A and B are shown apart, each in its own frame.
Chain A
Amino acid sequence: MNPPDTFEADFRRVFDERFPALFRYLDRLCADPDLAADLAQEAFVRLYERKTMPLEVRTWLVAVSSNLLRDERRRRSRRRRLLLGRAASDLMGDSEPSPDAGPLRAEVRQMVRAALDTLPERDAQLLLLREEGLSYREIALALGLNEVSVGTLLLRARAAFQTAMEARPYAS
Chain B
Amino acid sequence: MHPDESVLWRFVDEELSTSVREDVARHLSDCAGCAGRLEELRGSSVSITRALATLDHDAPHVPVDAVRSISRARGRRRRSLAAAAVLLVVASSAAAALPGSPLRRIVQRWLGEPARAPASSTIKPDQAGSTKAERPRTASGIAFAAGESVTVDFAASPVTGELRIRFADGADVIATGSSARTRYALTGRGVTVTPGDSGSFDLEIPRRTDPVRVRIAGHVVFAKVNGRVTTEGTRDSSGTLHLRFSSHQRDLP
Contacts and interface: CB of A to CB of B under 8 A. Distances in A.
Interface in B26-85: 44-45, 47-49, 51-52, 54-60, 62, 64, 66-68, 70-71, 74-75
Given A151-B6, A151-B10, A155-B5, A45 B55 contact: no
A136 B62 contact: no
A130 B13 contact: yes
B48 A109 contact: no
Given A45-B71, A136-B15, A152-B6, A24 B64 contact: no
Interface residues of A, number: 42
Contacts of A151: 6, 9-10, 13, 15
Interface in B81-99: none
Nearest to B64: A15
A2 interface: no
B67 A28 contact: no
A interface, over-half SS: helix
B22 to A, nearest CB: 19
Interface residues of B, number: 29
Contacts of B60: 23, 33, 37
A28 B56 contact: yes
Contacts of B55: 27-28, 31, 109, 112-113, 116
A158 B52 contact: no
B68 A48 contact: yes
Given A116-B55, A151-B10, A11 B44 contact: no
A37 B58 CA distance: 10
A61 interface: no
B64 A108 contact: no
Contacts of A56: none
Contacts of B52: 28, 112, 116, 127-128, 131
A113 B54 CA distance: 9
Contacts of A131: 48-49, 52
A113 to B, nearest CB: 6
Interface in A132-166: 135-136, 151-152, 154-155, 158, 161-162, 165
Contacts of B13: 130, 136, 151, 154
Contact of B48 (A19, A41, A113, A158): A158
Contacts of A105: 54
Given A45-B74, A135-B15, A155 B48 contact: no
A49 interface: yes
A60 B215 CA distance: 67
A86 interface: no
Interface in B163-213: none
B67 A44 contact: yes
Contacts of A27: 55-57
B9 A155 contact: yes
B71 A162 contact: no
A108 B48 CA distance: 13
A113 B56 CA distance: 11
A49 B64 contact: no
Interface of A: 11-12, 15-16, 19-20, 23-24, 27-28, 31, 33, 37, 40-41, 44-45, 48-49, 95, 98, 105, 108-109, 112-113, 115-116, 127-128, 130-131, 135-136, 151-152, 154-155, 158, 161-162, 165
17 contacts: A15-B64, A23-B60, A24-B59, A37-B59, A37-B62, A41-B62, A41-B66, A45-B74, A48-B68, A98-B58, A112-B52, A115-B51, A151-B10, A154-B13, A155-B5, A158-B44, A158-B45
Given A45-B71, A109-B54, A116-B52, 10 more contacts: A23-B59, A24-B59, A28-B52, A33-B57, A49-B75, A112-B51, A131-B52, A162-B47, A162-B48, A165-B47
